[in-house]
Amino acid sequence: MEYEEPKFFHVMQYAAAADGDVIDMVSGNPDWEPPAALREALREYADLPPADFQYPPSDGLRELREAIAERRDVAPERVVVTNGTGEANYLAMARALDRGAGDEALLMDPVYPYYPGKTHLLGGEPTLVPTARDGGLDVDAVREAASEDTALIVLNTPNNPTGAVYDLDAVREVVAVAEAVDAVVVVDEVYGQFDLAGSFESALTLDSERVIVTGGFSKSMAITGLRVGYGVFPEAHVGDAKTRHMLVNVTGARPSQYAVYHALAETEPSYYAESRDLLADRVAAFTDALDAAGAEYSRPEGAFYVLARFDGFPGTMANVKRLIDEAGVAGMPGEAFGTARDEWIRFALVTPRATEAAERLADYFADGAPAPR
C-alpha cells in the first residue's frame, strides 16, 4: 500500500524555501509559554535516579492516568496515555474497525486530513458526511449515510478546521445512530480547553459504551513536541487498545508524562483562561482585517483556526503557494480538508503575527482577486 504525504508538510516545506518573509499560519503549534510547573518538572527530572530513566508502565504513569481520570470523571483503568492525541485517535479508530462490524468510517466534511489517512491505514473506507453551513453537526446527514457497513463515526469538537463546537444533544443523536448500526463513535476533544464561546460539553457526559473520547496536552499546554495524549475507552475496548499501544510503541516517554502530571497538579485555571483570551483577541483582529479584504469567513467558537474564502481565489494548493510567494502568508488549502470547503483557506492563529498576516491579506485582495496566472 502506498501512502500520500500529508499536505501540511508540503506547504510548510514550500513556505520554508520561499524567498522573503513568510508568516506561518499552517501548523497548530501554539506560540505561548508552557506552564511554569512543566518547565520546573523537566529540570527536576534530570536529577532523578537511574530507575526513572527506564520504561514507564505501557499504559502510562499511574499518577498521570489518575489525574486525567479525576478530571474526566472516569475510572483510571479506562485511560491509556499515548504518544500524542494522534496515537489515541489511531487506537480508537482501530478498535472500531477491528470488531468485524464493517469497514466504513463516517467522517464529517470538512475533515481533519489525518482521519481519512488513518482510516486507509487501518484498512477502512472513509465516507465524508456534510456538516451544517456553520460547521455544526448535521444529524440527518449522518443518519442517511449510516449503514450496516458503518463501523466508525469520528467527531472532532471543538473542530479543526471550522472552529465549530458540537451541540451535546446532536452528539447524543449521533451516538443513537451508531447504536442502530453497531458503530463506535470516536470523539476527538483535543481542543476542549479552547472553548471560546463557553458552550463545549464533553461526550464523556453521555456515559455510553459506544463512545471513545480522545484528548491531549499538546495544544492546551503549548507542548506539541512532548507528545502526551490519551484515550478514554469503554471497558469492552480498553484491553485491546492497551495491547495495540504496546505492540506499536511499547510505551510513551516517561519524562514528558512526569512533566505533564506536575503541570496538571500545579497549574492554575488562569493559565488556560489567558490563552483563551489571547486567542479571542486574535480572532477579533484577524476577522476585522478579513472584513477589510472582503472575505467570507468562519468565526470559531473553539480551537484556533479561521476558514476564509476570497472571491475568485479558491483554496487550491496552487493559490496557497501564490499567497506565500506574493503576500507572504502561509495557510492551508481548503481542498486538503475534504470537499465541503475546497474554495476556502484555513489559517492557524497561533502566531503573534496573526494581525499582521491579516493586514497583508487585506492589502493583497484590496482590489479583488489577483488575475489568474
C-alpha grid cell, residue 17: 524555501
In this prediction, residue 369 has a pLDDT band, given cuts at 50, 70 and 90, of low
Pairwise CA distance, residues 93 & 105, whole Å: 9
Residues with Cβ within 8 Å of 270's Cβ and at least 6 positions away in sequence, in order, are none
- Over residues 125-129, the mean pLDDT reads 98
Strand blocks (E) in 263-353:
296-297, 305-309, 329-330, 332-333, 345-348
Helical (H) or strand (E) element with 271: helix 269-292
Q: Place 2 in a pLDDT band, splitting at 50, 70 and 90.
A: low
Mean per-residue pLDDT of the chain:
94
Cα–Cα distance between 12 and 303 in angstroms, integer?
20
Model pLDDT, residue 164: 96
Whether 1 has a pLDDT exceeding 70, the answer reads no
**CATH code matching the domain that covers 7-33+270-365, chosen among 2.30.30.100, 3.90.1150.10, 1.10.3730.10, 3.90.280.10:** 3.90.1150.10
Predicted confidence band of residue 8 (pLDDT cuts 50, 70, 90): confident
Mean pLDDT of 28-57: 97
Please give the backbone phi and psi of residue 90, each rounded to the nearest 5 degrees, phi first: -60, -45
Strand 345-348 to 305-309 pairing: antiparallel
The CATH code of the domain at 54-266 is: 3.40.640.10
pLDDT at 368: 65
How does pLDDT run across 176-232, given as a tens digit for each residue? 999 999 999 999 999 999 999 999 999 999 999 999 999 999 999 999 999 999 999
- What is the average pLDDT across 79-87? 98
pLDDT computed for residue 292 by the predictor: 85
pLDDT-derived band at 62 (thresholds 50, 70, 90) equals very high
pLDDT of residue 366: 84
Domain map of the chain by residue range?
7-33+270-365, 54-266
| pLDDT tens digits for range 325-346 | 999 999 999 999 999 998 999 9
Nearest Cα residue to 134 out of 342, 341, 293, 283: 341
Q: What is the pLDDT of residue 7?
A: 78
CA 138 to each of CA 106, 153, 174: distance values in angstroms, whole numbers, following the listed order? 12, 13, 9
pLDDT digits (tens, 9 = 90+) for 112-124: 999 999 999 999 9
Model confidence at 93, pLDDT cuts 50, 70, 90, reads very high
pLDDT computed for residue 83 by the predictor = 97
Q: What percent of the chain has pLDDT over 70?
A: 97
Pairwise CA distance, residues 23 & 160, whole Å? 20
Instruction: State the pLDDT at residue 9.
Output: 80
Write the CB contacts of 274 (distance below 8 Å, at least 6 apart in sequence): none
Label residue 10 by pLDDT band (50, 70, 90): confident
Q: What are the distances in angstroms from CA 311 to CA 90, 173, 203, 252, 369? A: 37, 36, 37, 46, 6
Q: What is the pLDDT of residues 302-320, one digit of tens each?
A: 999 999 999 999 999 999 9
Percentage of the chain beyond pLDDT 90 is 87
Closest CA to 83 of 177, 216, 180, 201: 216
